[in-house]
Amino acid sequence: MGFFDKLVSGLTKTRDNLVKQIKSVLSGKKISEELFEELEEILIGADIGVTSTMEIMENVRERCRQEKVQEGSQVEKILQEEIRKVIGEKTELEPPATTPWVIMVVGVNGVGKTTTIGKLAARFTAEGKKVVLAAGDTFRAAAAEQLAIWAERSKAQLIRHEEGSDPAAVAYDAVQAARNRKADVLIIDTAGRLHTKSNLMEELKKIKRVISREMPDAPHDVLLVMDATTGQNGLSQAKVFKEATEVSGIVLTKLDGTAKGGIVIAIKRELGIPVKLVGVGEGIDDMQNFNPDDFVEALFS
Protein backbone atom coordinates (compact mmCIF):
# COMPACT_ATOMS: atom_id res chain seq x y z
CA MET A 1 0.00 0.00 0.00
CA GLY A 2 1.10 3.55 -0.71
CA PHE A 3 1.04 6.07 2.12
CA PHE A 4 -2.32 7.57 1.08
CA ASP A 5 -3.90 4.10 1.13
CA LYS A 6 -2.36 3.52 4.56
CA LEU A 7 -3.78 6.85 5.68
CA VAL A 8 -7.23 5.89 4.40
CA SER A 9 -6.91 2.53 6.17
CA GLY A 10 -5.49 4.13 9.32
CA LEU A 11 -8.40 6.55 9.54
CA THR A 12 -11.02 3.78 9.33
CA LYS A 13 -11.96 4.03 13.02
CA THR A 14 -12.24 7.82 12.87
CA ARG A 15 -14.22 7.62 9.64
CA ASP A 16 -16.62 5.09 11.16
CA ASN A 17 -17.00 7.29 14.23
CA LEU A 18 -17.24 10.63 12.44
CA VAL A 19 -18.15 10.52 8.76
CA LYS A 20 -20.62 7.62 8.86
CA GLN A 21 -22.53 9.40 11.63
CA ILE A 22 -22.44 12.67 9.68
CA LYS A 23 -23.79 10.97 6.54
CA SER A 24 -26.49 9.28 8.60
CA VAL A 25 -27.60 12.56 10.20
CA LEU A 26 -27.61 14.47 6.90
CA SER A 27 -29.22 11.83 4.69
CA GLY A 28 -32.64 12.83 3.38
CA LYS A 29 -33.15 15.64 5.91
CA LYS A 30 -33.96 19.31 5.55
CA ILE A 31 -31.71 21.95 7.10
CA SER A 32 -32.70 22.78 10.68
CA GLU A 33 -31.10 23.96 13.92
CA GLU A 34 -31.66 20.48 15.33
CA LEU A 35 -29.61 19.05 12.45
CA PHE A 36 -26.72 21.45 13.18
CA GLU A 37 -26.81 20.55 16.87
CA GLU A 38 -26.57 16.85 16.01
CA LEU A 39 -23.52 17.59 13.84
CA GLU A 40 -21.92 19.49 16.72
CA GLU A 41 -22.30 16.48 19.01
CA ILE A 42 -20.68 14.19 16.42
CA LEU A 43 -17.70 16.52 15.91
CA ILE A 44 -17.11 16.87 19.65
CA GLY A 45 -17.34 13.07 20.00
CA ALA A 46 -14.54 12.67 17.43
CA ASP A 47 -12.22 14.81 19.60
CA ILE A 48 -12.33 17.85 17.36
CA GLY A 49 -12.87 19.81 20.58
CA VAL A 50 -15.57 22.23 21.68
CA THR A 51 -13.79 25.42 20.52
CA SER A 52 -12.96 24.02 17.07
CA THR A 53 -16.44 22.53 16.68
CA MET A 54 -18.21 25.81 17.52
CA GLU A 55 -16.04 27.72 15.05
CA ILE A 56 -16.55 25.17 12.26
CA MET A 57 -20.31 24.95 12.82
CA GLU A 58 -20.72 28.73 12.97
CA ASN A 59 -19.09 28.93 9.53
CA VAL A 60 -21.21 26.04 8.23
CA ARG A 61 -24.41 27.73 9.41
CA GLU A 62 -23.37 31.04 7.80
CA ARG A 63 -22.49 29.41 4.48
CA CYS A 64 -25.72 27.43 4.43
CA ARG A 65 -27.60 30.73 4.85
CA GLN A 66 -25.57 32.55 2.21
CA GLU A 67 -25.68 29.69 -0.30
CA LYS A 68 -29.38 29.01 0.44
CA VAL A 69 -28.71 25.34 1.16
CA GLN A 70 -31.92 23.39 1.75
CA GLU A 71 -30.91 19.73 1.85
CA GLY A 72 -28.81 18.00 4.49
CA SER A 73 -26.88 16.14 1.79
CA GLN A 74 -25.41 19.46 0.58
CA VAL A 75 -23.99 20.26 4.01
CA GLU A 76 -21.33 17.53 3.92
CA LYS A 77 -19.21 19.27 1.27
CA ILE A 78 -19.39 22.59 3.16
CA LEU A 79 -18.45 20.86 6.42
CA GLN A 80 -15.51 19.14 4.72
CA GLU A 81 -14.27 22.48 3.34
CA GLU A 82 -14.57 24.20 6.72
CA ILE A 83 -12.64 21.40 8.47
CA ARG A 84 -9.94 21.74 5.82
CA LYS A 85 -9.70 25.52 6.45
CA VAL A 86 -9.13 25.04 10.19
CA ILE A 87 -6.18 22.67 9.63
CA GLY A 88 -4.35 25.34 7.62
CA GLU A 89 -1.57 25.05 5.10
CA LYS A 90 0.84 22.15 4.70
CA THR A 91 3.95 22.77 6.83
CA GLU A 92 6.92 20.48 6.33
CA LEU A 93 10.21 20.17 8.16
CA GLU A 94 12.63 22.61 6.50
CA PRO A 95 16.39 22.40 7.06
CA PRO A 96 18.08 25.64 8.15
CA ALA A 97 20.74 27.40 6.10
CA THR A 98 23.47 26.24 8.50
CA THR A 99 24.47 22.78 9.71
CA PRO A 100 24.05 20.83 11.84
CA TRP A 101 20.28 20.99 11.75
CA VAL A 102 19.42 20.56 15.44
CA ILE A 103 16.08 18.91 16.20
CA MET A 104 14.97 18.52 19.82
CA VAL A 105 12.29 15.88 20.35
CA VAL A 106 9.96 16.14 23.37
CA GLY A 107 6.89 14.31 24.68
CA VAL A 108 5.70 12.12 27.53
CA ASN A 109 6.84 8.51 27.84
CA GLY A 110 4.95 5.98 25.76
CA VAL A 111 3.98 8.20 22.83
CA GLY A 112 6.58 6.75 20.48
CA LYS A 113 9.36 9.32 20.87
CA THR A 114 12.30 6.94 20.40
CA THR A 115 10.66 5.25 17.40
CA THR A 116 9.96 8.65 15.85
CA ILE A 117 13.62 9.63 16.26
CA GLY A 118 14.70 6.34 14.69
CA LYS A 119 12.38 6.78 11.72
CA LEU A 120 13.54 10.37 11.23
CA ALA A 121 17.17 9.24 11.35
CA ALA A 122 16.46 6.54 8.77
CA ARG A 123 14.77 9.10 6.51
CA PHE A 124 17.68 11.53 6.71
CA THR A 125 20.38 8.90 6.14
CA ALA A 126 18.40 7.61 3.13
CA GLU A 127 18.62 11.17 1.79
CA GLY A 128 22.40 10.99 2.12
CA LYS A 129 22.64 13.09 5.28
CA LYS A 130 25.08 12.38 8.11
CA VAL A 131 23.04 11.99 11.32
CA VAL A 132 23.99 12.12 15.00
CA LEU A 133 21.54 11.04 17.73
CA ALA A 134 21.80 12.21 21.35
CA ALA A 135 20.46 9.94 24.12
CA GLY A 136 19.16 12.76 26.31
CA ASP A 137 16.61 10.64 28.17
CA THR A 138 19.08 9.56 30.85
CA PHE A 139 16.40 8.89 33.49
CA ARG A 140 14.57 5.98 31.89
CA ALA A 141 16.19 2.59 32.02
CA ALA A 142 16.79 1.21 28.52
CA ALA A 143 16.07 4.53 26.76
CA ALA A 144 19.66 4.81 25.52
CA GLU A 145 19.69 1.12 24.55
CA GLN A 146 16.55 1.58 22.45
CA LEU A 147 18.09 4.59 20.76
CA ALA A 148 21.32 2.65 20.15
CA ILE A 149 19.34 -0.02 18.26
CA TRP A 150 17.73 2.67 16.09
CA ALA A 151 21.11 4.36 15.53
CA GLU A 152 22.55 1.08 14.27
CA ARG A 153 19.50 0.36 12.13
CA SER A 154 19.51 3.83 10.56
CA LYS A 155 23.33 4.09 10.28
CA ALA A 156 23.40 7.14 12.56
CA GLN A 157 26.04 7.93 15.20
CA LEU A 158 25.05 7.97 18.88
CA ILE A 159 26.17 10.22 21.75
CA ARG A 160 25.29 8.83 25.18
CA HIS A 161 26.33 9.15 28.84
CA GLU A 162 25.82 6.97 31.92
CA GLU A 163 22.24 6.36 33.03
CA GLY A 164 21.12 9.11 35.41
CA SER A 165 23.64 11.68 34.17
CA ASP A 166 22.80 15.29 33.28
CA PRO A 167 20.75 15.42 30.05
CA ALA A 168 21.99 18.95 29.33
CA ALA A 169 25.57 17.62 29.39
CA VAL A 170 24.60 15.01 26.79
CA ALA A 171 23.09 17.77 24.63
CA TYR A 172 26.27 19.86 25.01
CA ASP A 173 28.53 16.96 23.98
CA ALA A 174 26.21 16.07 21.10
CA VAL A 175 26.35 19.61 19.67
CA GLN A 176 30.17 19.55 19.85
CA ALA A 177 30.35 16.08 18.28
CA ALA A 178 27.90 16.98 15.49
CA ARG A 179 29.98 20.04 14.63
CA ASN A 180 33.32 18.24 14.79
CA ARG A 181 32.06 15.35 12.68
CA LYS A 182 30.44 17.75 10.20
CA ALA A 183 27.05 16.12 10.68
CA ASP A 184 24.07 17.40 8.71
CA VAL A 185 21.48 16.59 11.38
CA LEU A 186 21.53 16.25 15.16
CA ILE A 187 18.42 14.78 16.80
CA ILE A 188 18.22 15.06 20.58
CA ASP A 189 16.01 12.72 22.62
CA THR A 190 14.69 14.04 25.95
CA ALA A 191 13.05 12.66 29.08
CA GLY A 192 9.29 12.15 29.11
CA ARG A 193 8.85 11.87 32.84
CA LEU A 194 10.57 13.22 35.94
CA HIS A 195 9.19 13.19 39.47
CA THR A 196 6.97 16.19 38.80
CA LYS A 197 5.76 17.99 35.69
CA SER A 198 7.57 21.19 36.73
CA ASN A 199 10.86 19.25 37.11
CA LEU A 200 10.50 17.89 33.58
CA MET A 201 9.77 21.32 32.10
CA GLU A 202 12.74 22.90 33.90
CA GLU A 203 14.97 20.10 32.57
CA LEU A 204 13.76 20.71 29.01
CA LYS A 205 14.31 24.47 29.35
CA LYS A 206 17.85 23.80 30.59
CA ILE A 207 18.63 21.54 27.61
CA LYS A 208 17.28 24.19 25.26
CA ARG A 209 19.42 26.90 26.94
CA VAL A 210 22.58 24.79 26.62
CA ILE A 211 21.92 24.13 22.94
CA SER A 212 21.21 27.83 22.26
CA ARG A 213 24.36 28.89 24.10
CA GLU A 214 26.47 26.71 21.80
CA MET A 215 24.47 27.49 18.66
CA PRO A 216 22.45 30.73 18.98
CA ASP A 217 19.95 29.76 16.25
CA ALA A 218 19.39 26.24 17.61
CA PRO A 219 17.41 24.14 18.24
CA HIS A 220 16.02 24.80 14.78
CA ASP A 221 13.01 22.58 15.46
CA VAL A 222 11.34 21.38 18.64
CA LEU A 223 9.08 18.48 17.71
CA LEU A 224 6.42 17.35 20.16
CA VAL A 225 5.48 13.69 19.73
CA MET A 226 1.81 13.07 20.56
CA ASP A 227 -0.15 9.83 20.67
CA ALA A 228 -3.36 10.35 18.66
CA THR A 229 -5.23 7.88 20.88
CA THR A 230 -4.88 10.12 23.97
CA GLY A 231 -7.22 12.73 22.50
CA GLN A 232 -7.98 15.77 24.65
CA ASN A 233 -5.56 14.61 27.38
CA GLY A 234 -2.79 14.87 24.83
CA LEU A 235 -3.91 18.39 24.05
CA SER A 236 -3.53 19.53 27.67
CA GLN A 237 -0.06 17.91 27.80
CA ALA A 238 0.88 19.69 24.59
CA LYS A 239 0.01 23.10 26.06
CA VAL A 240 2.53 22.57 28.86
CA PHE A 241 5.28 21.48 26.47
CA LYS A 242 4.52 24.43 24.18
CA GLU A 243 4.95 26.92 27.03
CA ALA A 244 8.25 25.38 28.15
CA THR A 245 9.96 24.67 24.83
CA GLU A 246 8.32 26.73 22.05
CA VAL A 247 7.25 23.65 20.10
CA SER A 248 7.55 24.23 16.34
CA GLY A 249 5.73 21.15 15.10
CA ILE A 250 3.76 18.06 16.11
CA VAL A 251 4.51 14.46 15.23
CA LEU A 252 1.24 12.57 15.60
CA THR A 253 1.74 8.84 16.18
CA LYS A 254 -0.75 5.93 16.26
CA LEU A 255 -3.24 7.72 14.02
CA ASP A 256 -4.24 4.24 12.85
CA GLY A 257 -5.30 3.18 16.35
CA THR A 258 -7.92 5.76 17.26
CA ALA A 259 -11.55 6.57 16.57
CA LYS A 260 -10.77 10.17 17.48
CA GLY A 261 -8.47 11.34 14.68
CA GLY A 262 -10.31 14.68 14.89
CA ILE A 263 -7.56 15.62 17.37
CA VAL A 264 -5.58 16.77 14.28
CA ILE A 265 -8.10 19.59 13.87
CA ALA A 266 -8.13 20.48 17.58
CA ILE A 267 -4.30 20.66 17.69
CA LYS A 268 -4.13 23.31 14.98
CA ARG A 269 -7.08 25.35 16.23
CA GLU A 270 -6.33 25.26 19.97
CA LEU A 271 -2.52 25.12 20.01
CA GLY A 272 -1.68 26.96 16.81
CA ILE A 273 1.05 24.37 16.14
CA PRO A 274 1.16 22.60 12.76
CA VAL A 275 1.11 18.82 12.55
CA LYS A 276 4.25 18.15 10.48
CA LEU A 277 4.50 14.35 10.55
CA VAL A 278 2.05 11.51 11.06
CA GLY A 279 2.55 7.83 11.82
CA VAL A 280 0.08 5.25 10.53
CA GLY A 281 1.90 2.01 11.28
CA GLU A 282 4.97 0.29 12.66
CA GLY A 283 7.03 0.23 9.46
CA ILE A 284 10.01 2.52 9.00
CA ASP A 285 8.22 4.25 6.08
CA ASP A 286 4.94 4.62 7.97
CA MET A 287 5.84 8.09 9.22
CA GLN A 288 5.37 10.72 6.54
CA ASN A 289 4.89 14.44 6.07
CA PHE A 290 1.40 15.51 7.06
CA ASN A 291 -0.66 16.68 4.11
CA PRO A 292 -3.94 18.39 5.14
CA ASP A 293 -5.58 17.78 1.75
CA ASP A 294 -4.79 14.05 1.92
CA PHE A 295 -5.97 13.89 5.53
CA VAL A 296 -9.40 15.41 4.83
CA GLU A 297 -9.79 13.40 1.62
CA ALA A 298 -8.90 10.18 3.45
CA LEU A 299 -11.26 11.07 6.27
CA PHE A 300 -14.26 11.61 3.99
CA SER A 301 -13.46 8.95 1.37
d(CA 172, CA 15): 45
Residue 149 neighbours by CB distance under 10 Å? 12
pLDDT (0 to 100) of residue 102: 98
Fold of 101-300: Rossmann fold (3.40.50)
Q: Are 83 and 296 in contact (CB under 8 A)?
A: yes
Q: Which helix (H) or strand (E) holds 103?
A: strand 101-106
Pick one of 3.40.50.970, 1.20.120.140, 3.40.50.300, 1.10.10.60 as the CATH number of 3-87.
1.20.120.140
User: Is there a contact between 115 and 197 (Cβ–Cβ < 8 Å)?
Assistant: no
Rounded to an integer, what distance in angstroms lies between the CA atom of residue 79 and that of residue 295? Answer: 14
From CA 110, how far away is CA 133, in angstroms rounded? 19
Element (H or E) spanning 54, and its range?
helix 50-66
* Cα 72 from Cα 44, distance rounded (Å): 19
Strands (E), 124-246: 131-134, 157-159, 185-188, 221-227
String of DSSP letters for 192-221: S--SSHHHHHHHHHHHHHHHHHHSTT--SE
Domain boundaries, the chain: 3-87, 101-300
Q: What is the per-residue pLDDT for 40?
A: 94
3-state secondary structure of 66: helix
Per-residue pLDDT of the chain in tens (301 residues, 90 and over written 9): 677 888 888 888 888 888 888 989 888 888 899 999 999 999 988 888 888 999 999 999 999 999 999 888 889 999 999 999 999 888 999 999 999 999 999 999 889 899 999 999 999 999 999 999 999 999 887 899 999 999 999 999 999 999 889 999 999 999 999 999 999 999 999 998 866 678 899 999 999 999 999 999 999 999 999 988 887 788 888 889 999 999 999 999 988 777 677 888 888 888 889 999 998 877 777 888 999 999 898 888 7
The pLDDT, as a whole number, for residue 259 is 66
User: Quick one: pLDDT at residue 194?
Assistant: 65
Q: Contact, 191 vs 167, CB < 8 A?
A: yes
Measured CA to CA, the distance from residue 150 to residue 84 in angstroms comes to 35
Query: Cα–Cα distance between 80 and 60 in angstroms, integer?
Result: 10
- What was the pLDDT predicted at 3? 78
Nearby residues of 233 by Cβ (< 8 Å), 6 or more positions away: none
Is the omega angle on the peptide bond into residue 167 within 30 degrees of 0, that is, cis?
no
Q: Strand 185-188 and strand 101-106: pairing?
A: parallel
